[in-house]
Amino acid sequence: MPTADEISAAPTIAGRPVGRLGFGCWRLTTSSTAEATALVEGALDLGCTLVDTADVYGLDWGGTGWGTCEERLGAVLAARPALRDRMVLATKGGIIPGVPYDSSASALTSACEASLRRLGVDHVDLYMVHRPDMLTHPAEVADTLLRLRERGLIRAIGLSNHTTAQVAAVQEHLGEPVAAIQPEYSAAALGALRDGTLDQAMRHRAAVLAWSPLAGGRLVSGEGVRPDLVAVLDRIAAERSTTRTVVALAFVLAHPSSPVALLGTQRVERIAEAVAAIDVHLTRAESYAIVQASEGVALP
């Protein structure tokens, strides 16, 4: 049984602790290495020690094509090599536009090797299958990931956007729990809370990397989310003399699985605002009020 200290400890990946907020590189599409370096270094300075990217990042949000966000991050690391030791570096593979998913041994191996070349590193701390390929047997996925680890190309294994059954199937053939999962989770997207994803992570002590913790910015703008949810977030923010953004992030951080909230903003000042969420500890009444407003139905 884990101790209380172990339960409350910061998440670890590949034996390294990570901050409760992480820096996501989906929108790292600037053509300026200096600008990208300032952003990455600023995020690290603010405690966002997990830096998360993927080979597919760069096909949207102003990117110029496949792999361009990894290339930009690689340019940052080439310009400032010391930053590499300050981060827990994660990337993902398995999406191929037009296919759209391929987790076969050859595809995942090639994807990982190509990511390392673009990043200019000899290994990543965490490698994740980005989305499940239902046409590849989980035994093949597990074997491929283990071989990548044996070669020293990756330190830890993770799964992104997988169902609990898909995670369990891969883990069965890995012979060990995955180090991390990456589900969507926010005050506006409670699927991981209800479908067993977060429970499974706690059972196996996997790190939870919550993507889109601000619902892609909709919780900041208030557009496209339930008005009742916005009202509850604003009420709590006013009572605590903080912002809606901080309360929405505090809700994600409040879950006992200790999620790492991955921030997609490309502005250091927005990251600085978000950091305040670490010190905002919502009451149960506040958290359940957010759940009820998000789902629009009374709790039983």
Give the distance between the most distant pair of CA atoms in the chain: 55
Active site residue 57: yes
3-state secondary structure of 253: helix
- Which residues in 28-66 are b (16+ Cβ under 10 Å) and which e? bbbeebeebbebbbbbbebbbbbbbbbbbbbbeeebeeb
The two tokens of residue 68 are 């361009």
CA distance 21 to 47: 7
Residues 6+ apart with CB under 8 A from 6: none
First to last CA, the chain: 30
Q: Torsion over CA of 161, 166, 170 and 176, rounded to 10 degrees?
A: 80
Q: Which of 62, 81, 110 is nearest to 266 (CA)?
A: 62
CB 248 within 8 A of CB 223: no
Q: Which of 123-144 are b and which e, b meaning 16 or more Cβ less than 10 Å from the residue's Cβ?
A: bbbbbbbbbbbeebebebbbeb
Give kind and range of the element (H or E) at residue 220. Answer: helix 218-221
Active-site residue numbers?
Answer: 57
